[in-house]
Structure 1
Amino acid sequence: MAARSRSSRRARRRSARLTARPVSCAGPMATGRCACSGGRETSCCSNGRETLASLSHLERHGDDSATGIAAEVLQRLHAARDSPPPAALTPLHDILAALFLKAEGDRRAGRRTQFIEAAECAQALLSSQRDVRPLHGDVHHANILSAPRGWLAIDPKGLIGEPAFDAANLFCNPLEKDLRFREDRALSMAAILSPALGCAAERLLDYAFAFSALSAAWHLEDGDPGEAERSLAVGRAVRAARARLMS
């Protein structure tokens, strides 16, 4: 991957961040290409439209319902396409660079940390990727929007890799709810999402564990240790869920 300026790297990290804040836009409408529409130009806005991050939606329908909607959206995102993927898509190894850098620093310092465990998990996943295809890259509750033709994923980042990666973001969201720190919630999400992604629940949980540490590494780079620790707490809940699943 070509070297980038610090400012452009930071902008890229924020654009692809696992724990991205709810979508906002400068004007009344934000325009982007929605992968669910086959790449056609769409107009989407969180102002006045319900997202899965909406507390009212969660209160009315529950977290499992939101996860089910996300599973359906992911299935549409990952549907087979006749055309080859664009050459400019970012591979997963590149997007995970901050995690690998943090883990290497901890290793050199003689510390055995969650970052090292997550980096080892990520390396194992990358070396055994399955069904590699274009990915949205930033699927989370605030980027899944209700529209007249159904629920859509907005603000794609343009990655390429295993589809399970696209669901890892969901385990750290919604930010406003402490349920993201619960082991039973991670198990429920894995049970709902894994059939839609065509992968084993434990593999999906591995992606969520690795990506929660990536999020923490980004937050540390940005000087936010509090949010970094919360991301790591999500990872610990996911890891406990996987252990329970395999016991």
Structure 2
Amino acid sequence: MGLILDGPHFQTQTSLLCPVTLNGQRAFLKITNDHDELIGAKALEKWEGTGAVRILAQHENAFVLEYAGQTLRSVIPEDTAATRVLCSVADQLHSRNPENLDDFPTLRRWFSSLFADTDSRFDDIRVIADRLLSRNSHPVLLHGDLHHDNVLRSSHRGWLAIDPKGIVGPREFDYCNIFTNPTPQAAVSHFDARVRSVSHTANIEPVDLLRWIACWGALSGIWHLEDGDTTQASLPHTIATLAMERLQR
């Protein structure tokens, strides 16, 4: 295999990454033993390049990933246009209908922290989450972390997602991360405009979208609290509050 290092490596919390070329093509080498990262790699395999970067080569826990360019956040600062791109990428991912998704965690399992939490602030949201997750809707393979820094523009193939979590559940969930990114200021100031834009572009009823946003915000904040990070919990809980306020109008 014609793999050549093309720059210094760097470490994330879960992986070792290094720019490389593979047979003259720019790429990234990713080495990881993290369970969630390995599940994400399986999701990339299932999508086969539809809306996401391709895996060009792999050996055990080492993956050579297609190079995809600059982040959406750096290319399109205008919020409505960026939101439309994120919706388009989500739609591409969900258009795949891969068989045998048993190896992927379910969205209900992801929400276990919300259901186990006892904070009375989230009592109504827990009821909403249980109803949403109990619906008999067609599950899809979800990215799970689709936001402005996880979608990149390829000069050859357009907008591509990176770093998926790989979970199975209703498609509406994949639009929720938009509402807590890319900055706290943007998340709050563009909240209502994003609800309108995502609802229209992704063909989701506004009430349903607000319900999912409230559930995601509560869950995300609880995860931060479990990690002892009260500062990071503030934004998603603020977004959950905004969603609940809109639902009560």
- TM-score scaled by structure 2? 0.73
> What SS does the corresponding residue of 1:90 show, helix, strand or coil?
coil
Q: Which structure is richer in relative contact order (CA contacts within 8 A, separation 6 or more)?
A: 1
Equivalent pairs: percent with the same residue? 29
Paired residues, what number?
205
Q: Which structure 2 residues correspond to residues 74-223 of structure 1 after superposition, within 5 A?
A: 74-81=90-97, 83-102=98-117, 105-106=118-119, 112-113=120-121, 115-148=122-155, 149-175=157-183, 177-182=184-189, 185-223=190-228
Query: How large is the Cα RMSD of the aligned pairs?
Result: 2.5
> What SS does the corresponding residue of 1:141 show, helix, strand or coil?
coil
Consecutive unaligned residues in structure 2, runs of 5 or more: 1-12, 20-27, 31-40, 57-64
Which of 52, 57, 64 does residue 76 from structure 2 map onto?
57
| Counterpart contact for 2:114–2:222, Cα < 8 Å | yes
Instruction: Please state how far the C-alpha of 1:91 moved relative to its aligned partner.
Output: 0.9
| Counterpart contact for 1:168–1:211, Cα < 8 Å | yes
Structure-1 separation of matches of 2:195 and 2:48: 22
State the match for 2:49 in structure 1.
Answer: 37
C-alpha distance after superposition, 1:29-73 (max 9, x if no partner): 255527371484153568xx321233x631xxx100000001111
| Counterpart contact for 2:67–2:154, Cα < 8 Å | no
Q: Which has the higher helix share?
A: 1
C-alpha distance after superposition, 1:87-113 (max 9, x if no partner): 1121111001111111xx23xxxxx31
Structure-2 separation of matches of 1:190 and 1:75: 17
Structure-1 separation of matches of 2:217 and 2:67: 27
Structure-2 separation of matches of 1:204 and 1:64: 17
> What SS does the corresponding residue of 1:118 show, helix, strand or coil?
helix
Find out whether 1:27 has 2:27 as its counterpart: no
- TM-score scaled by structure 1? 0.74
Structure-1 separation of matches of 2:88 and 2:67: 20
